[in-house]
Amino acid sequence: MHNIKLILEYDGSSYHGWQKQPRLPTIQTTLEDSLFPLFRERIETVAAGRTDAGVHAQGQVVNFFTQASISSTSIQPALNSYLPKDIRIKKVHQVDMDFHARKSALRRVYRYLIYNSSFLSPFYRNFVWWVPFNLDPDLMREAGKFLIGEHDFLSFQSQGSSTSSTLREIKKLSVFKRKKFIVIYIEANSFLYKMARNMVGTLVEIGRKKMVPLEMKEILEARDRRMAGPTAPPQGLCLMRVEYGKHRVW
């Protein structure tokens, strides 16, 4: 038995998220269907982050077990030949049997892109949230500081999750402006369902001056989803990288 780790990137625009769903195109289904002709066995994959419909990845980490003996250097080109062009395998490694893409992960880093302009180029439409209203990144940055650390993030969890605990730890949160883009990086040990997008939606309300930065603290303490801002659309979100301890992935 071999434990194989993949690092992949994908444009999630045409998929209903990572996780398999009946009669719907997903990243997991597409990947497993492409693994079958290569390994000649039905393979179950595990991902570090179960990205939602329309969300992208540049550093998704996946692992699976197989009986087949295929060299790691052969898997990448062969698998990419079976996959559609909006999903690419970047790296392949054989890892220790105790490696688990989700459970072994220490931190996940997401990036959210906002295009803050009165005009949206069609070339960006699948990868940004177009916000035509003026945003103040300094206010957004000030509000983001209240989210750093270990907190109960129930106010930022959307319905549809069965998690037993809503405690999470945000290691870093940065907001900066690059020309017409406002870029938000969020690094956490793990994320609740739509947590990143709900935080971004709230930051945008603060950037529009519909709320003040101190309200972020009050929202967090309220543990009430109704207090937070709207859910940011999925296309601006991208899983950038996953960090591990003894299991190096880069």
Tell me, yes or no, whether 207 and 221 share the same domain: yes
45: domain CATH number? 3.30.70.580
> Does 14 have pLDDT greater than 90?
yes
Q: Could you confirm whether 52 is annotated as catalytic?
A: yes
Among 103, 138, 169, the domain-final residue is 103
DSSP secondary structure letters along the chain: -EEEEEEEEE-GGGSS-SS-BTTB--HHHHHHHHHHHHHSS----EESS-PPTT-EEEEEEEEEEES----HHHHHHHHHHHS-TTEEEEEEEEE-TT--TTTTEEEEEEEEEEE-SSS--TTTTTTSEE--S---HHHHHHHHGGG-EEEE-GGGPPSS---S--EEEEEEEEEEEETTEEEEEEEES---TTHHHHHHHHHHHHHTTSS-THHHHHHHHHT-GGGS-PPPPGGGEEEEEEEESSS---
Residue 248 lies in a domain: no
Q: Write down the pLDDT at residue 18.
A: 97
* % of the chain beyond a pLDDT of 90: 91
Among 35, 70, 103, the domain-final residue is 103
Per the structure, the count of domains in the chain is: 2
In the set 52, 86, 96, 136, the catalytic residue is 52
Tell me, yes or no, whether 191 and 143 share the same domain: yes
Q: In terms of residue numbers, what domain contains 165? A: 106-242
Convert the pLDDT of each residue in 61-99 to its tens digit.
999 999 888 888 899 999 999 999 999 999 999 999 999
179: domain CATH number? 3.30.70.660
Q: Write down the pLDDT at residue 250.
A: 44
pTM for the whole structure: 0.93
What mean pLDDT value characterizes the chain?
A: 94
Tell me, yes or no, whether 53 and 18 share the same domain: yes
Residue 188 lies in a domain: yes
Tell me, yes or no, whether 117 and 228 share the same domain: yes
Tell me, yes or no, whether 97 and 141 share the same domain: no
